[in-house]
Amino acid sequence: MQNVRAAAVQFQHTNGDKPANLATMDRFIASAAKQSVQLLCFPECCVTGYWFLRKLDRSALLTLAEAIPTGPTTEWLCQRARQTQMAIGAGLLELAPDGRLFNSYLVALPDGSWHCHRKLHCFISEHLASGDVYTVFDTPWDCRVGVLICYDNNLIENVRTMALLGTEVLLSPHQTGGCKSGSPEAMGQIDVALWEQRKEAPEKLAAEFLGPKGREWLLRWLPSRAHDNGLFLVFSNGVGRDDDEVRTGNAMILDCYGRTLVESRQIEDDMVVAELDATLRERATGVRWMRARRPELYNLLTEKQGSEVSAREARFS
């Protein structure tokens, strides 16, 4: 791995308005190019909008979905990646050749190639399928990059698998924070009135973003994903009102020891940039720990326990 300059974006998407969202992304792409960014991570479903998708029937979802790679968003991202010589990742709805719909994340590379990750644990709509393939690929910077979308990161087995597949930098696009949770001590909803009144009382909204419903919740578990697996983690997120919830932003980049290199504390659209020091991985705790694994002890991890449910049932129960 070589040193890589990475950026994580938080922005408020406009539901169903792809041209508006792409215009916002274009401004960040231009800013990232001026800062010599090589790896740019946008949020989950940022092209289409997110939380409102749960209310749409299949026909409405089809109007937003695109084929990959023949759809216009793939063409747009690949063009921007070639122009700026960046790797650019963004979330969208994918219409697969077999007619299934996926919450997908497309990463366009400078040479015109691309990689698509389908969310492994998709719960937002009964009309969206879950993917079944891990996405890891090489980049021009001798850096192996992987993608896990939002809920995918919550399951520790997924991140460990990514590490075992050679991931050095994990792109972690989200739409989270401020969510109603089935766990009473995890997150919790933020009053949308605080977002609407943010100009009059910004300190109240900032306290929610940085408190247990946002940053504090993320820091309970996100650093451990980076530390325990010895990988850099680029966390992007939505920010602001998302239908009846409020996303908390908190864009951040963590090193392979789980330390925060840079983070956003803004209550609006923002981008954070950090240099990923490749030499840190040589002796990173997580990398060394994985060498001591005893796979023969872990058969239980692949056996069903009888309590498994779908991601949709787990999320909304």
* Helix runs in 126-191, H state only: 151-154, 156-164
**What secondary structure letter does DSSP report for 127?**
T
Q: What is the CA radius of gyration of the chain?
A: 19
> Which residue shows structure tokens 């994985």?
290
**What is the bridge-based pairing of β-strands 260-263 and 252-254?**
antiparallel
**What is the bridge-based pairing of β-strands 232-242 and 245-248?**
antiparallel
d(CA 122, CA 84): 32
Cβ neighbours around 90 below 10 Å, total: 29
What CATH number is given to the structural domain containing 113? 3.60.110.10
Q: What is the pLDDT of residue 184?
A: 80
d(CA 25, CA 122): 24
Token duo for residue 245: 């919830």
Quick: pLDDT tens for 105-157. 999 999 999 999 999 999 999 999 999 999 999 999 999 999 999 999 999 99
Asked if 92 contacts 99 with a C-beta cutoff of 8 angstroms, the reply is: no
SS3 280: helix
- Boundaries of domain holding 38: 4-316
Task: Give the 3-state secondary structure of 205-217.
Answer: HHHHHHCCCCHHH
157's CB contacts (< 8 A; 6+ apart) are: 301
What are phi and psi for residue 172, nearest 5 degrees? -130, 75
Cis peptide bond prior to 69, omega within 30° of 0:
yes
Token duo for residue 147: 């993608």
d(CA 3, CA 278): 5
Q: What is the pLDDT of residue 180?
A: 85
d(CA 170, CA 228): 13
Quick: pLDDT tens for 33-44. 999 999 999 999
Q: What is the pLDDT of residue 27?
A: 98
Asked if 229 contacts 254 with a C-beta cutoff of 8 angstroms, the reply is: no
Q: Is 16 exposed, middle or buried (0-12, 13-18, 19+ CB in 10 A)?
A: middle
Cβ neighbours around 125 below 10 Å, total: 18
SS3 251: coil
Q: Which amino acid, 189? A: Q
Cβ neighbours around 201 below 10 Å, total: 12
**Residues of the chain predicted below pLDDT 70:** none
Token duo for residue 240: 């602001």
Structural domain count, the chain: 1
* Whole-structure pTM value: 0.97
